[in-house]
Amino acid sequence: MLITGNRARRALAGCLAVIVSAGMLSGCAGSSGGSAPAVLVIGTSGDFPPWEYRESGGKVTGWMVDMVDHVVADAGYQAEWKQVSFTGLLPALQSGRIDLITSLYNTPERRKVISFIDFAGERNAVVTRTADAGAIKSWQDLCGSTVGSLIGSSPLAAAVAAGSKQCTDAGKTAIRNQSYQSVAQELRDLEEGRIKAAIDGGVGFSYSAQHSGGKLAVAYYEGEKSIVGWGIRKDNPVVDKLGPAIEGFLTSDAAREVARKWSLPPDFLQRKPVIAKQEG
């Protein structure tokens, strides 16, 4: 039978309503229909152990992966890791290609464009070749040398600039800052003597030094603690579920086991997460 006029329009509207409702239900994490959890796409450069790095087979591993497995599941989601260069992480988050960055310093500059869920704090480590470590205990010992840091990490560049100012204020030669796209390239140049030292977060660099086959060592730790958090778009409502899930993890036996497994400093993880909304 052919349906015409108002009857046809009412029938079409009813069909669309059923389709839309079904689609909305199928996309809800933890809905009663037995549907799969919604997926959170997590961006990683995959080259910074013990945070997040790729094994020889390509699988992403690290202490952050262990934390993500607990938190994301507790919040009712499923994690999918996506390879993104470090300098491309923020643009990928802002454009919607990824939903989350799990290991990022919370800075005023970054809070202008994204929100954070803070969970940890760490000091910077200055790493050198093992043979040089005994003679390098402050920025004053690096005057006239080249120090490596990651492109896109303004706190690291600022730390090197402050150290260089100490040198020039003392009438010594400034420190040169060599920027790198990846930690792997930075540490390779350090091992081969192209730079005198490198600076980054203490957790990652102390781990790299311990696993360098005796080639590298932490010369010293510098500065105040930097706050570390998960970066997320301001308009993403998932923050309301992830915050409580992170708090549950931080106070659990699972967090203590992850800290033990990966030799995290005892004062590294916070007891309670702090949500810092985008300011811009």
Residue 269 resides in a domain: yes
In total, the chain counts a number of residues equal to 280
SS3 81: strand
Residue 112 resides in a domain: yes
Please tell me whether residues 211 and 135 are part of one structural domain: yes
Please tell me whether residues 117 and 204 are part of one structural domain: no
pLDDT digits (tens, 9 = 90+) for 15-35: 434 333 333 333 334 434 456
* Partners of 180 in beta bridges: 150
Burial class, 195, CB count within 10 angstroms (exposed 0-12 / middle 13-18 / buried 19+): buried
3-state helix, strand and coil shares in percent for the chain, rounded to the nearest 5: 40, 30, 30
Is pLDDT of 8 > 50? no
CATH code for the domain of 95: 3.40.190.10
Please tell me whether residues 86 and 172 are part of one structural domain: no
Please tell me whether residues 109 and 235 are part of one structural domain: yes
Q: How far apart are CA 54 and CA 270, in angstroms?
A: 26
At 280, is the pLDDT very low, low, confident or very high (cuts 50, 70, 90)? low
Residue 8 resides in a domain: no
Please tell me whether residues 87 and 50 are part of one structural domain: yes
In this prediction, residue 9 carries a pLDDT of: 44
pLDDT digits (tens, 9 = 90+) for 45-85: 998 899 999 988 889 999 999 999 999 999 999 999 999 99
Structural domain harbouring 251: 38-122+226-276
pLDDT digits (tens, 9 = 90+) for 253-263: 999 999 999 98
Query: Other CB atoms closer than 10 Å to residue 266's CB: what's the count?
Result: 6
Amino acid at 135: A
Residue 9 resides in a domain: no
Please tell me whether residues 159 and 213 are part of one structural domain: yes
What's the average model confidence in pLDDT over 144-172? 95
Candidate from 7-11, 199-203, 264-268 with smallest mean pLDDT: 7-11
Domain count within the chain: 2
What's the average model confidence in pLDDT over 125-148? 97
